[in-house]
Amino acid sequence: MFEFIYNILENILNLFVSEFKFQNYILTFIAGALSAFIVINAVLGGVLAAIWGERRLLGKFQQRSGPNRWGPMGTLTSVADAVKVMFKEDIVPEEADKYIFNIAPLLLVVPVFIIFSVIPFGVGLYAVDINVSALFILAITSISGLSIICAAWASANRIAIFSALRSVAMLISYEIPVGLSLVGILLISESMSVMDIVIFQKVPFILLQPVAAFVFFLGSLAEINRTPFDLTEAESELAAGYQNDYSGMKWGLFYLGEFAATIAASSVFSTLFLGGPNGPFLPGIFWLTIKVVAVWFVIIWIRATWPRFRIDQVLNLAWKGLFELTLVNIVVTSISVIIWTDSDPNRLLYIALFNWIFTVPFVFIIIRLLKTKDYVEIKEPSLIYPVGSEIPKFEKVGK
């Protein structure tokens, strides 16, 4: 995208200014700003659509109509919400640390948008191509934890502190399996650049790395604080968690950041595991959109159906389940990569088979190990205590 805009601008400028000394720097800046503008607006539009879509879908799951007042099928509801949020009074608590309180929402929103800079929307349609962009994504996503702890600490609210501590504990735990689950991909594609990974994926990586995809999906659910890992803003426990004291547009930014993070997580998952913009017939951008919407739908589906875990269970799952799975996956993938080198024509097929055979059983083993211990249900009431020994009966006296 950047090169495309840069070339157009250069051609236009060459018509008027033949010899301009600093035109490279200026052009780079303008082209960069333009591509950022396009990406950010695409994501913002996506967020508005996602808010509407999520509410509408949840309505369908819950056998009600969902938003249906503004615009056809309620499509303008999120626009109306955005306008309302902008005009609401901005309240800062007296005991709040004002600077940190104000900067926290931005800290959540900005990294999410930065992630989109390395996502290829089509083959060749990307804002920037960094040669370590997979690592870049992992690094940028952890900033959201900083934002949450800033917000909670600055708003001087005890419930918010709970939320922030949970968030940080989860982020630290899930960074590890998420990061390690990508190692398999990097080993097979032999590159850390998302662009190279996308080009490599004639076969989507979810077929070559099923366990890594599973771990990455659960891990990204935890990192964007979605059900069943929505402990940071567990509504029934912590009310709104770290955003308790926020109002107006700052709260709106948190909301925006969360929904954008959902889209970002679905985009990253579809880019790394579902082949991104690769697909027959349609242009890449359509394929990416279809895949992102599919992943996003699964996230909503989970939200509509599942209860949430408790904090100790969440951490247990990360350290006792997903971490081991990623280790197994790395070992198995390394062996398969060593055995079947580039020269082998059926390399990917063998790697996929090897992976399925040796990693998927571990998922079931882990599930069995982490399963809740079922207690033996005693059918007959115990006779230890006097009242329950038999059905007691009163004698009716008089009327």
Partner 1 sequence: MSVKSEPITINLGPQHPSTHGVFRMRVTFDGETIIDLEPIFGYLHRGSEKLAEERTYTQIVTLTDRMDYVSSMLNNQGYILALEKLAHIDPKPRGVWLRMIASELQRIASHLVAIGFLIQDLGAWGTPLTYAMREREKILQMFEMLCGARITNSYLRPGGVFMDAPIQFWDALSEFTEHFPSKIEELEKLLSSNEIIFSRTKGIAVLTAEQAINASITGPILRSTGVNWDLRKSDPYDYYDQVDFNIPTHTAGDNYARYILRVQEMKESLSIVKQCVEKIEPGPVRPHHDETPNLVKPPVGDCYSAIEGSKGELGFYLVSDGSISPYRWHVRSSSLINLTLLKDMLVGTLFGDLFVTFGSIDINMGEVDR
- Report the site for partner 1 in 43-72 (rule: CB under 8 A): 58, 61-64
Which residue, 16 or 385, has its beta carbon nearer to partner 1?
Answer: 385
**DSSP-derived 3-state class of residue 122:** strand
Query: If you ran DSSP here, which 8-state letter would residue 196 be given?
Result: H
Site membership for partner 1, residue 310 (CB under 8 A) = yes
- Report the site for partner 1 in 362-381 (rule: CB under 8 A): 371-375, 377-378, 381
The token pair at 339 is 């055995």
Site membership for partner 1, residue 18 (CB under 8 A) = no
Which residue, 19 or 312, has its beta carbon nearer to partner 1?
Answer: 312
The token pair at 119 is 């996502």
Binds partner 1 (CB under 8 A): choice among 18, 236, 341, 343: 236
Least CB distance from residue 160 to partner 1, whole Å? 11
Which residue, 243 or 270, has its beta carbon nearer to partner 1?
Answer: 243
Least CB distance from residue 308 to partner 1, whole Å? 3
278: closest CA among 363, 205, 192? 205
Binds partner 1 (CB under 8 A): choice among 158, 280, 338, 342: 158
Q: What angle do CA 23, 27, 32 make, to 5 degrees?
A: 160
Please list the helix, strand and coil fractions of the chain in percent, rounded to the nearest 5, in that order: 70, 0, 30
Stretch that binds partner 1, among 122-130, 157-165, 244-252, 262-270 (CB under 8 A): 157-165
Q: Are 111 and 137 in contact (CB under 8 A)?
A: no
Which residue, 73 or 370, has its beta carbon nearer to partner 1?
Answer: 370
Site membership for partner 1, residue 283 (CB under 8 A) = no
Write the DSSP assignment of 286-305 as a string of letters: HHHHHHHHHHHHHHHHHHHH
- For the chain, what's the residue count? 399
Site membership for partner 1, residue 199 (CB under 8 A) = no
> Dihedral angle at the C-alpha atoms of 4, 10, 11, 15, nearest 10 degrees?
160
**DSSP-derived 3-state class of residue 125:** strand
Which residue, 133 or 173, has its beta carbon nearer to partner 1?
Answer: 173
Site membership for partner 1, residue 239 (CB under 8 A) = yes
Q: Are 245 and 93 in contact (CB under 8 A)?
A: yes
Binding site for partner 1 (CB under 8 A): 58, 61-64, 158-159, 161-162, 166, 227-228, 230-231, 234-237, 239, 303-313, 371-375, 377-378, 381-382, 384-385, 387-388, 390-394, 399
